[in-house]
Amino acid sequence: MLGRLASIVAKQALSGHHVVCVRCEDIVLSGGMVRQKAKFERFLRKRSVTNPRRGAVKFRAPSKILWRTVRGMVPHKTARGAAAMERVKTFEGVPAPYDKVKRMVIPDALKVLRLQQGHKSVRLGDMAAQCGWKHNEVVAELEAKRKAKSAAFYQAKKKAIKLRRKAEAEA
């Protein structure tokens, strides 16, 4: 769930922790696709009255949507808030340095625990793809490759552990 995840990330960043969010395209929004898309497009239409070309930049990428949601929960115009925002990194997929690092899940932001059975939900990546983000397929393809590589590594690791236990039992 986007808001719950963002609030926890914001609090951790403000308390001095470095936070890296990966696979932002798989974050869930509560509510149906039509409603979420309409809300986001309403947000995209907001612009400056005096000069419409001068409006704020509105990102379509899921990682930037999460980043902006976190920024809304942090006093980013103060030195403390700016420092906290520098400690937050967001990515689509799992890029190279972080694919070898142990990841953790935030239970308070899980769809299974927070959204009632049968209620509609939308993946942030799907909503972003319908609102102008062009890299949904590329990220999905790269994630499939990473997951296959990770599964092969895990199988080799399990085999090595089994052999080690066998050797220890014999010794």
Angle at 39 between CA 36 and CA 45, to 5 degrees: 140
Residue 171 has pLDDT above 90, yes or no: no
pLDDT tens for each residue of 134-167:
999 999 999 999 999 999 999 999 999 999 999 9
pLDDT for res 105: 96
Greatest alpha-carbon pair distance for the chain in Å reads 81
Q: Give me the pLDDT at residue 102, please.
A: 94
CA-CA distance, 45 to 132, in Å (whole number)? 13
- 1, 141, 140, 127: which is closest to 60 by C-alpha? 127
The Cα 1–Cα 18 span in angstroms is 20
Q: What is the pLDDT of residues 33-64, one digit of tens each?
A: 999 999 999 999 998 889 988 888 899 999 99
Please report the pLDDT score of residue 53 as a whole number: 86
Q: What is the pTM of this model?
A: 0.91
